[in-house]
A = this chain, B = another copy of it.
């Protein structure tokens, strides 16, 4: 037990900081005197007090964090914060006399903080502005926010955060050392995130959204989160301009933030186009959108080719970047399109972006590795290392990528089987799991863009909650907690 206590000291700190962020919805509620005002008092006080208690109890046990403490902390942060985030939601719904179960509240909070964007709520348009803002603000903090928080705050506390960075950005990312000091990196990524956010708010406002809508949807655009304050999601605005702005910022946010950081530092904009991963990500998004546009036009779903182009780009980029907005029930499109979009949601985001899923850099490494294997089949003695961006990718990295793929596939199949055991239909079960693991949001079947996750039983909801968590922690980080070697001295 003692060995976990130093972790709780940091966790308490993070929980206290999280409580402070509730000042944002509190301010909105106070300013607009909306129905949820007292929920924010309760939520903020409870969260801050809990954090303080954790910190106090563990105050005698501070020490340098070990790698496994880092992994433990990451897992704890992502399971404990949704707990506190769900408190104001539950308090508000109880006040209104329409019970929101703990299962659903925790799901909603997890969906927010993991930037998944699946929801169990309907009648979003009627919720108090502060509640909708909180749902979306959680995504903004969640996506890159909590990553940056963890890498930036910990080192400032004098504790090495590099192992955390490694755990969070499992796989290839860990090897692109941007600056010697992780704090500086974190601050750099944070700055870029903020600049991007401001540009996005302004663009939305200029495209005709109200300031409130612009902020709320910016939160869920740059974080690739996809929650909305409207049941109709982006369909509410019915504005081609707003949708194209959204498409642009989703594409920008799906690229590696480290690339922007390096480009800014070296004042070299040509670096943007020379980044293999980002080029592949954007390329895939554009090609997939064009393919779907042509399909929709040929099959007569939309007769006007320009309309087909708009619908295809918005929905394909939204799903493929794991954002999850919709402006129509694309599940009604020829079945090839929605399934393609769902599959792409595992691929077309970059490591170091706010997206989830497999990530493009892994796909590139996998394709190069597959080519190498084929060459080896023909010329058994040939040596041809996998190269990326000029550097050789070592075997350990390739193993890590392949291991990730394996666990990723096994997780999706395993959780789908669990849902099938509850007699959910195959399409709903499989797509709910894929959409959750990829932190994307809507699936197909009864969890499709026209439905939501409210129809699931409590048990099924928990399976999806676990899937979101596994996806956000890139599987390994979480699963490693259950391996014996983790607990061995």
Contact = CB atoms under 8 A, between A and B. Distances in A.
A402 to B, nearest CB: 4
Contacts of A336: 417, 420-421, 423
A378 B485 contact: yes
A366 interface: yes
A406 B366 contact: yes
Interface string A347-383: 0000000000000000000100111011111111000
Nearest to A340: B417
Interface string A368-401: 0111011111111000000000000001101110
Contact of A335 (B371, B420, B485): B420
Contacts of A31: none
A34 to B, nearest CB: 42
B483 A374 contact: yes
Nearest to A384: B485
Contacts of A425: 335
Contacts of A407: 370
A68 B68 CA distance: 48
A186 B407 CA distance: 37
A380 B67 contact: yes
A399 B373 contact: yes
A319 to B, nearest CB: 15
Nearest to A375: B485
A66 to B, nearest CB: 9
A410 B405 CA distance: 12
Interface residues of A, number: 53
Interface string A419-452: 0110111110000000000000000100000000
A333 to B, nearest CB: 11
Contacts of A141: none
A27 interface: no
Interface string A154-176: 00000000000001001000000
A425 B334 CA distance: 10
A378 B396 CA distance: 14
Nearest to A369: B403
A416 to B, nearest CB: 8
Contact of A377 (B427, B444, B480): B480
A108 to B, nearest CB: 28
A370 B403 contact: yes
A392 to B, nearest CB: 15
A371 B395 CA distance: 17
Contacts of A426: 335, 339, 426-427, 444
Contacts of A379: 67, 485
B427 A374 contact: no
A316 to B, nearest CB: 14
Given A379-B485, A413-B343, A426-B335, A374 B480 contact: yes
Contacts of A395: 395
Given A409-B409, A427-B427, 4 more contacts: A370-B407, A371-B485, A373-B399, A426-B444
Question: Shortest 9 CB-CB distances between A and B: which pairs?
Answer: A373-B403, A402-B402, A336-B421, A336-B420, A375-B485, A374-B480, A374-B483, A378-B486, A377-B480
28 contacts: A167-B377, A170-B377, A335-B423, A335-B425, A335-B426, A336-B417, A336-B420, A336-B421, A336-B423, A339-B417, A339-B426, A343-B417, A370-B403, A373-B403, A373-B476, A374-B476, A374-B485, A375-B485, A376-B400, A378-B480, A379-B485, A402-B405, A405-B405, A405-B406, A405-B409, A409-B409, A426-B426, A427-B427
